Amino acid sequence: MINIGIVGYGYWGPNLVRNFAETPGAQVAAVADLDTAKLELVRRRFPAVKTTTNFQDLLADASIDAIAVATPVSTHFEIGMAALRSGKHLWLEKPMAETSYQAHKLVDEAERRGRVLIVDHTFIYTGAVRKMGEIIKSGDLGRVYYYDSIRVNLGLFQRDVSVISDLAVHDFSILDYLLGEHPAAVSASGINHFPGTPENLAYITLFYDSGTIAHANVSWLAPVKVRQILLGGSKKMITYDDLEPSEKIKVYDKGVSFTDDPQQIQEMRVGYRTGDMWAPKLSVTEALRVEGEHFIDCIEHGKTPETDGRLGLRVVELIEAATSSMRGRGETVYIRRQEKAA
Ligand SMILES: NC(=O)c1ccc[n+]([C@@H]2O[C@H](COP(=O)([O-])OP(=O)(O)OC[C@H]3O[C@@H](n4cnc5c(N)ncnc54)[C@H](O)[C@@H]3O)[C@@H](O)[C@H]2O)c1
């Protein structure tokens, strides 16, 4: 049985507690939060779970094997590093740290100590993203031309990070997983309409050496919630609507072809293919459950998580590059060549 201590019981922390409480091989031993009202909620719902306002109590508890950190991003480095140094395995919420320097340090520390470090890029564990990955890897999509995402809603405004860190981070991790390629350059624009708070809407374009182009429109200022991705390939095209209760993914046998036939050269050389559409069956297991079980499996069998610290670091590097471009009003920021994503 792997004993887990969870730090942070705000918006996301309760999802971690609920999932780990139901994950075979795991047990929630304790929850830490600075807010005693939050701890009261834990005690009412999970009477057997210990509570404390001091996360150090969890680190000092030798019966706890792993720490999950669901506090604001600005605290991830301090709490995560302390957890690793006390010998615990570590689950860090996305994004794993505020800077790539901090992310590097966390990756190094986990590797040096032989501890499992997983970053909660939840979308990678959804049936929908896995299905898109399968379709790309099988070659059915053909060459990936573009990825276009809209991820907007009203709030939740974050105090310590911009909308890029909060929402585009999902697209960065999904792209890393789907393409297995790090972008060569990024251009982003965004704005902060409320002085003293981070940027609340942004448009980010990522350029890849392979020719793929990716775009994400992220906002906390939209009147409606939209979570849609278009993925266009040379053979097929996919739509992904995360708010659809079923049939989240639709695969279209549509595309264009160009002819070099001299007979047709004076005419329009482009042909349109409009074939069938189908909605593949997706796993309906909650992504956090899949990820929780994967974390336990990695701890028990010394495996590397699919969303390990290195993926988390690549994502933080993209956040930094996009933020730097945004502050330069869209100037192109070139990204240092990376080890290839898995
Ligand atoms: N994976 C996802 O899809 C997903 C979704 C939402 C949020 N998140 C991530 O979860 C993290 C938390 O976000 P949130 O929206 O739950 O924030 P939140 O502000 O609602 O909750 C944070 C909680 O941490 C507590 N806290 C702060 N500092 C602490 C400390 N030093 N010790 C103990 N407790 C402390 C606060 O009292 C609060 O209850 C962020 O990294 C966010 O990006 C991930």
Cβ of 232 below 6 Å from ligand 1:
no
Lateral strand order in the sheet of 50-52: 50-52, 26-32, 2-7, 66-69, 89-93, 117-120
Indicate the pLDDT class of residue 270, thresholds 50, 70 and 90: confident
pLDDT band at residue 341 using 50, 70 and 90 as cut-offs = very low
How many angstroms separate the CA atoms of 52 and 58, rounded?
A: 8
Pocket probe mutation, ligand 1, options 6, 9, 11, max atoms within 8 Å of Cβ: 11
Which residue's CA is minimally distant from atom 6 of ligand 1? Answer: 12
- The predicted-structure confidence for 184-225, as pLDDT tens digits, reads as follows 999 999 999 998 889 999 999 999 999 999 999 999 999 999
Gap between the Cα atoms of 205 and 64, Å rounded: 42
- Strands laid side by side in the 270-278 sheet: 270-278, 249-258, 237-241, 221-233, 144-154, 213-219, 201-207, 185-191, 333-334
251 CA distance to ligand 1 middle (Å): 36
Ligand 1 binding pocket includes 133 (Cβ within 6 Å): no
Q: Is the CB of 33 under 6 A from ligand 1?
A: yes
Measured in Å, residue 75 CA sits from the centre of ligand 1 at: 9
CA distance 94 to 79: 14
What value, to the nearest 5°, has the Cα angle with vertex 299 and ends 298 and 305?
30
Is the pLDDT assigned to residue 13 strictly greater than 70?
Answer: yes
Residue 266's pLDDT is what? Answer: 64
The answer, yes or no, to whether any atom of ligand 1 lies below 6 A from the CB of 126, is: no
Atom of ligand 1 nearest to the CA of 169: 43
Cβ of 35 below 6 Å from ligand 1 = yes
Token pair for residue 180? 């297995």
CA of 74 to the centre of ligand 1 (A): 10
| Cα gap 72→54, rounded to integer Å | 15
DSSP string, 92-121: EESS--SSHHHHHHHHHHHHHHT--EEEE-
Q: In whole numbers, what is the pLDDT of the chain averaged over residues?
A: 95
Q: Is the CB of 316 under 6 A from ligand 1?
A: no
Report how far ligand 1's centroid is from the alpha carbon of 179 (Å). 29
Question: Distance between CA 334 and CA 13 in Å, rounded?
Answer: 35
How many angstroms separate the CA atoms of 53 and 271, rounded?
65
Check whether 237 has a pLDDT greater than 50: yes
- Evaluate if residue 336 carries a pLDDT over 70: yes
| Whether the CB of 98 sits within 6 Å of ligand 1 | no
pLDDT on residue 319: 98
Contact between 169 and 95 (Cβ < 8 Å): yes
Q: In this structure, what token pair is assigned to residue 240?
A: 């992904």
Query: What is the rounded CA–CA span in Å between residue 299 and residue 281?
Result: 30
6, 7, 12, best to mutate for ligand 1 pocket (most atoms within 8 Å of CB): 12
- pLDDT greater than 50 at residue 112: yes
Tell me, using a 6 A CB cutoff, whether residue 307 lines ligand 1. no
Single-letter amino acid, residue 246: S
Give the tens place of pLDDT for each residue, 273-291.
889 999 999 999 999 999 9
pLDDT value at residue 158 = 85
47 pLDDT higher than 80: yes
Please name which of 145, 192, 122 lies closest in space to residue 164, comparing C-alpha atoms. 192
Mean pLDDT, rounded, for 140-167: 95
pLDDT at 342 over 60: no
Distance CA 95, CA 89 (A): 17
Q: Is the CB of 155 under 6 A from ligand 1?
A: no
